[in-house]
Structure 1
Amino acid sequence: MNASPSSSAQAAREAVAARLVDIRKTAGLKAHEVAARCGWHKSKVSRLENAHTPPSDDDIRKWCQVCDALQHAPDLIAASRNADQMYVEWKRIHRTGIRRRQEVDVPLYDRTSLFRVYCSNVVPGLLQTHGYAEALLSTISQFQGTPNDAADAATARLARSHVIHEGRHRFVLLVEETTLRYRIGPPAVMAGQLGYLLEVLSLPSVAFGVIPFTAQRRIWPVETFMIFDDDRVQVETLSAEINITSPGEIDVYVKAFARLQRMAVYGTKAQSLITAAIDTLR
């Protein structure tokens, strides 16, 4: 059985801590000596070496410097940042609002050639209208108790989604039929969102599929996730964003996506399901 993403993140943090211990021992130093040379309390060294506290970039540089191993600092800093980003609670990500989070992913979106997206609960962010995104992000802010900058965040989300109209990117986007019926915002907002999905069906770079209520399940409805090429998977849970870069774990999501993809309907059949959802608004 594969380890959970959160346990994988902890394993990555422990690997960084183990490397710090190895560097100290190679330098022939005791833990209390490293603490003294860095000007720290000795308990800090214990916390770092046992992965109880993640090291800052400056912590790593100081550690490597006093151990005469500065050449290892860049790789250790990169590994520590990767471990820190693998499992991050939404409250931490959104502590200053949601707009900034939309902007951070722009380089990732720009360099990705193939997007594979599965959403079991909301319309994919890449396809959201401003009204739908604002209503959704406002609800998220209220639930999390974080600053509500939904209007600006929605604008940033739409700016991030410019890739949907560029030919060098390809998209396979899957939703459960339930996402077409959930009322995220008032009827006018939902009508605008569903109408936009009908427009998306004609985009040559986009394959948009809907998994009907009546589909024979080859895999149960799972959490929302995005696969960026074959390099990274972002998983969204209620409490956290999980970034997966381990090839073995990525393969699990690629396998799940392939099964979900075979269950979906496309083209005129998807159009019929969207139209039926619009009819319920009347």
Structure 2
Amino acid sequence: MTRSVPWQERLSTGTEAVQDDVIRWYQRTKEGKAYVPDMIWGTLQTEAYATVILKQVVDFLGVPDDVPAGVAKRMERQRVLHEGDHHYDVILGEQALYTNIGGPEVMRGQIDRLLRDIDLPSLTLGIIPATARLAIFPAPAFGIYGEGDTVNVELVSSELDITEEGEVALHHRMFDLLREGAAYGEAAKDLLRKAQSIWAGGPR
């Protein structure tokens, strides 16, 4: 089954309530997966980065502006990386390190955050280099949560929750194929350090 909820309905009271829902969702997830090709996964965002993102969402959709409350909840949801028995397997595209959200200062802080968190026991962070040869075409961003039986996809106008077994299985397969092209460990850190240097005004 696929359930679609328009963002303007989902965010009709602002961003805070949705973040509360996500917190409960993440707390129920012991083994999560997320693929985000062109921005930073929400649970690894800094406060400054998340503030820019949620402000853009509010302005674009014309929903109530409660950005500080929404950001506070987004920061609260990051506790899953430090508390309880959770593990998240996350793949970012290298483009995520360069999509300019908030300017160089915000991006430097965000890359620093990734370098700090990459060794967390609760996190497996891979980065697909821009020139990586992939076993499968790049897909839109998606996350796999719950007991590995729910896929969440965020579209421009709505949010999709996919629970049909065959469709969920395809997303697991897609994730595994994308994972083959990702850099991990020191190779991922090298990509982060390169981005850090560029945002600090270093050589391009």
Which runs of 5 or more residues in structure 2 are unaligned? Answer: none
Deviation of the 1:121 alpha carbon: 2.1
2:86, 2:122 within 8 Å by CA — same for their partners in 1? yes
- Bigger proportion of residues as helix: 1
Where do 1:35-74 residues align within 5 Å? none
1:117, 1:124 within 8 Å by CA — same for their partners in 2? yes
1:174, 1:211 within 8 Å by CA — same for their partners in 2? yes
Q: Structure 2: how far apart are the matches of 1:238 and 1:220?
A: 21
Q: 2:129 aligns with which of 198, 212, 219?
A: 212
2:112 alignment counterpart: 195
1:109 matches 2:31: no
Where do 1:154-193 residues align within 5 Å? 154-193=71-110
1:278 alignment counterpart: 196
State the number of aligned residues: 199
Q: Structure 2: how far apart are the matches of 1:150 and 1:219?
A: 37
2:58 alignment counterpart: 141
TM-score of the aligned structures, taking structure 1 as reference length? 0.68
Q: Structure 1: how far apart are the matches of 2:135 and 2:60?
A: 33
SS at match of 2:109: helix
Higher relative contact order (CA 8 A, sep 6+): 2
**Structure 1 letter corresponding to 2:9:** R
**CA deviation string 1:168-218 (max 9, x = no partner):** 111101000000001111211111111000011111121100000010022
Q: 2:175 aligns with which of 236, 257, 260?
A: 257
Q: Structure 2: how far apart are the matches of 1:146 and 1:223?
A: 24
- Bigger proportion of residues as strand: 2
**CA deviation string 1:219-269 (max 9, x = no partner):** 222211110132211111111110011111100100100001111001111
**CA deviation string 1:86-121 (max 9, x = no partner):** 101111111221111000122221111101000012
| Structure 1 residue runs of 4 or more that deviate by more than 6 Å after TM superposition | none
Q: Structure 2: how far apart are the matches of 1:267 and 1:148?
A: 39
2:46 alignment counterpart: 129
Deviation of the 1:166 alpha carbon: 2.4
1:268 matches 2:177: no
Deviation of the 1:167 alpha carbon: 4.8
TM-score of the aligned structures, taking structure 2 as reference length? 0.93
1:98, 1:153 within 8 Å by CA — same for their partners in 2? yes
Q: Structure 2: how far apart are the matches of 1:198 and 1:98?
A: 28
2:134, 2:180 within 8 Å by CA — same for their partners in 1? no
Q: Structure 1: how far apart are the matches of 2:44 and 2:137?
A: 23
Structure number with greater Rg is 1
SS at match of 2:144: strand
2:157 alignment counterpart: 239
Which runs of 5 or more residues in structure 1 are unaligned? Answer: 1-7, 10-85
CA RMSD of aligned residues (A): 1.2
1:167, 1:205 within 8 Å by CA — same for their partners in 2? no
